[in-house]
């Protein structure tokens, strides 16, 4: 599913066919996980049908391309999209946090120093909407295509340009946007799977984080300095 041969937005729209393939892979992955005493190899696949709550098709395609660049499929884990990171951000942006929950939004909006942190009136939902538009305009100007249609190599170069500040978005801070994008990718990848990302606890398996219930008690001494190899468990496993 890499590169520009199969446009990403089409892939997302046509999740039916791709989803079936992926679901078969998931069943195999879970079966293997159940048989093995040690942590299973990182596998993940999306539920068969998962409509978007708030993202537009263009936005979903952007996130998918960005997350697959930040978290590429390799021997350590499936791609960011296959780990559920797009589902994660869709749910987050549809919810309280995405719409300005626990966020001070009163003006005035004075000139800020970097040390003041985030100072825009935009909610996270509005911020990503505007940022994705700005990124795609910049991508079209620089590469002749929107970001999700770039080759893997060009996508990596584009993300690097956002990270270093070499990318100049129109009326939008590209570096700040990169930081928000990276943070959302890491949250989706590492948060408890109940949020839609980290499917099949792929990232926890990858690093060796055992998850719950984490009631180690006196085992803290017996396990000290020893490699802990147990099947990670998440909140759903105890619910």
Residue 225 interacts with another protein (CB under 8 A): yes or no:
yes
Which C-beta is closer to another protein: that of 172 or that of 204? 204
Which C-beta is closer to another protein: that of 51 or that of 239? 239
Please report how close the Cβ of residue 136 comes to another protein at its closest, in angstroms. 19
For the segment 67-106, give every residue that binds another protein (CB under 8 A): 69-72, 74, 76-77, 97, 100-106
Angle at 56 between CA 51 and CA 59, to 5 degrees: 115
Residue in 20, 24, 56, 119 binding another protein, rule: CB under 8 A: 119
Query: Any residues with CB less than 8 A from the CB of 46 and at least 6 apart, and which?
Result: 15, 19, 22, 23, 26, 82, 84, 87, 199
Q: Which residue has the tokens 């990124």?
A: 135
Residue 11 interacts with another protein (CB under 8 A): yes or no:
no
Q: Is residue 44 a contact partner of residue 84, using CB atoms and an 8 Å limit?
A: yes
Residue count at the site for another protein (CB under 8 A)?
65
Q: Is residue 180 a contact partner of residue 127, using CB atoms and an 8 Å limit?
A: yes
Please report how close the Cβ of residue 21 comes to another protein at its closest, in angstroms. 23
Residue 122 interacts with another protein (CB under 8 A): yes or no:
no
Please identify, among the stretches 13-21, 27-35, 167-175, 187-195, the one whose residues bind another protein according to the rule CB under 8 A: 187-195
Please identify, among the stretches 7-15, 27-35, 51-59, 203-211, the one whose residues bind another protein according to the rule CB under 8 A: 203-211
Residue 224 interacts with another protein (CB under 8 A): yes or no:
yes
Which C-beta is closer to another protein: that of 169 or that of 178? 178
Residue 239 interacts with another protein (CB under 8 A): yes or no:
yes
Angle at 104 between CA 103 and CA 109, to 5 degrees: 130
Q: Which whole-number Å values give the CA distances from 198 to 44, 88, 93, 203, in the listed order? A: 8, 9, 17, 6
What b/e string do you get for 166-194 counting C-beta neighbours within 10 Å, with b at 16 or more? ebebeebbbbbbbebbbebbebbbbbebe
- Nearest one of 202, 193, 196, 159 to 178, comparing CA atoms: 159
Residue in 27, 36, 112, 166 binding another protein, rule: CB under 8 A: 112
Residue in 17, 35, 51, 227 binding another protein, rule: CB under 8 A: 227
| Radius of gyration over every alpha carbon of the chain, rounded to an integer in angstroms | 19
Q: Which residue has the tokens 């305009």?
A: 137
- Using CB under 8 A, list all residues that contact another protein: 69-72, 74, 76-77, 97, 100-106, 108, 110-119, 156, 159, 163, 182, 185-187, 190-192, 195, 203-204, 206-221, 223-228, 235, 237-239
């Amino acid at each position: 599913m890499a590169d520009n041969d199969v446009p990403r937005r089409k892939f997302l729209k046509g999740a039916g066919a791709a989803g079936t393939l992926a679901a078969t892979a998931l069943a195999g992955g879970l079966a293997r996980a159940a048989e093995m005493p040690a942590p299973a190899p990182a596998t993940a696949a999306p539920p068969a049908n998962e409509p978007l709550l708030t993202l537009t098709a263009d936005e979903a395609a952007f996130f998918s391309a960005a997350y697959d660049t930040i978290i590429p499929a390799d021997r350590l884990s499936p791609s960011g999209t296959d780990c559920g990171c797009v589902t994660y951000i869709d749910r987050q942006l549809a919810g309280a946090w995405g719409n300005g929950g626990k966020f001070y939004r009163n003006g005035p909006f004075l000139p800020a120093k970097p040390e003041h942190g985030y100072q825009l009136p935009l909610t996270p939902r509005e911020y990503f909407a505007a940022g994705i538009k700005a990124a795609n305009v910049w991508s079209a100007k620089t590469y002749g295509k929107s970001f999700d249609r770039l080759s893997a190599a060009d996508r990596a170069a584009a993300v690097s340009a956002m990270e270093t500040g070499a990318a100049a978005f129109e009326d939008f801070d590209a570096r700040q946007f990169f930081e928000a994008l990276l943070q959302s990718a890491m949250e989706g990848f590492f948060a408890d799977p109940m949020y839609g990302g980290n499917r099949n606890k792929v990232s926890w398996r990858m690093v060796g984080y055992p998850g719950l219930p984490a009631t180690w008690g006196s085992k803290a001494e017996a396990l000290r300095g020893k490699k802990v190899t147990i099947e990670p468990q998440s909140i759903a496993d105890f619910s």
